[in-house]
Amino acid sequence: MGLTLCCLLKNGGPIKHHKSRSAFCPFSVAPPIRLAVLLDTPPVAPGNPRSQWSPTYLSPNLKVCPSGGRVSRARVEQSSDAVRGVVGTATGLHIWEVLWEEQQRGSHALLGVSTHKCTLQASGYTAVIGGDSCSWGWDLSTNQLWHDGRAGRRYPGGGARGILSVPDRVLVVVDADAGTLGYVVDDCYLGVAFQDLPKGAELFPAVSCVWGGAQICIRYLCGMTREYPPALEALSRLSVRRALGGAGPRSRTLSFPSALQRLLLDSHSTNTAEEEQ
C-alpha cells in the first residue's frame, strides 16, 4: 500500500492547500509536531468526562445542562460569572473545543484555564477568568490576555492592529508539561498565549461571561502524554494529508485503496460539541 501511495502522489503531484481567507491566517504559526498530530487526530468518543462543565464549581448564575456539555447564564445584571470543567489535566498535551456564539459574549468574554482555587463570580462586569493569580484567559471581545487581574497584550500578534472578530468555534490548547496555553481559530494555530503556567497543578478549561442567556458548549477532542510518542499511523496520516494539501483523497481523482481512504478520512468524520447537545 505504501508503494502504491508513493506512485500515486508522484504521478499526481501534491496539491497546494490554501486556508480560507480568515483574518487570523497572517498570525498562524506552525504547530509543534505533537500538536500537529493531535489536530489531525479523530476526537475521542462523546461522553468523555473531560467534555463536561462542572455542576459544582460555577457561579450561582450559571446552570449546566444534564449532559454537562453546555452551560447557560441567567439574565441577571451587574454580575460576572465563571465555570470550569469537571476534569482538568496536570500532565500531557490536550485540546478542548469551545463553541460560544459571537452575539452572546458582551463586553467581557473570557476563555482559558484555571486551577481549582480560582474565583467564580465577581460584582459588575469584569474579567473573572484571568482576574486572579489562579486563572488565565483570552478576552474574545477585545483580544486581550488577562492574568492576575491585569490586561496584557493583544493576542494574537500583540501589535497595534484592530480587534479581530473571533468566530463561534475556538480550540483551547493546554500543554501541562511545558506550562503553556494557546488557541486555534479558523484552523490557524495562533501560538503560545501564556507560558509559565504552574507545572504539576491541575488545570481546567474555564470561561467567564456577562451576557444574559449566553450558552457555551465544551467538548474534549484529544490529548497525549510525553511518555508515549505519536503513533506511526497518526504520523503517516498527517504526512499524507499534508502532501495532499490537507483535503484527503476525495479531493482528487486518484484510485486509493479503501483502507487508505478510511485512514485519511477518519479524522474528519466527527461532530462538533454543539451537535452532541
- Residues 237, 66: Cα–Cα separation, whole Å: 36
Determine which of 34-38, 143-147, 152-156, 227-231 has the lowest per-residue pLDDT on average: 227-231
C-alpha cell recorded at residue 95:
485540546
Over the stretch 235-267, which tens digit does the pLDDT of each residue have? 666 666 666 665 544 444 356 667 666 666 655
**What is the arithmetic mean of pLDDT over 58-74?**
97
Question: What is the pLDDT confidence band of residue 226, given thresholds at 50, 70 and 90?
Answer: confident
Other Cβ atoms closer than 10 A to 34: 17
Tell me what the mean pLDDT of segment 166-174 comes to.
98
Q: What is the dihedral sign for C-alpha 185, 190, 192, 194?
A: negative
Q: What is the pTM of this model?
A: 0.82
pLDDT confidence of 61, banded at 50, 70, 90?
very high
Per-residue model confidence (pLDDT) at position 12: 45
In the DSSP assignment, the letter for residue 187 is T
User: What does the pLDDT read at residue 168?
Assistant: 98
Is 80 exceeded by the pLDDT of residue 64?
yes
| Averaged pLDDT score across all residues of the chain | 85
Neighbours of 129 (CB within 10 A): 32
For residue 129, pLDDT beyond 70: yes
Q: Does 77 score more than 90 pLDDT?
A: yes
Q: Which residue has the cell 506511526?
A: 232
From first CA to last CA, the distance across the chain in angstroms is 39
Check residue 17 and give its pLDDT: 43
Mean pLDDT of 59-84: 97
Q: How many CB atoms lie within 10 A of CB 65?
A: 15
Q: Look at 112 and 264; give whichever has higher pLDDT.
A: 112
Cell for 135?
A: 486563572
Q: Which residues contact 182 (CB under 8 A, 6 or more apart)?
A: 173, 175, 189, 190, 191, 192, 193
Of the chain, the percentage scoring pLDDT greater than 90 comes to: 68
Write down all domains in the chain, each with its CATH number in brackets: 25-224 (2.60.120.920), 232-263 (no CATH)
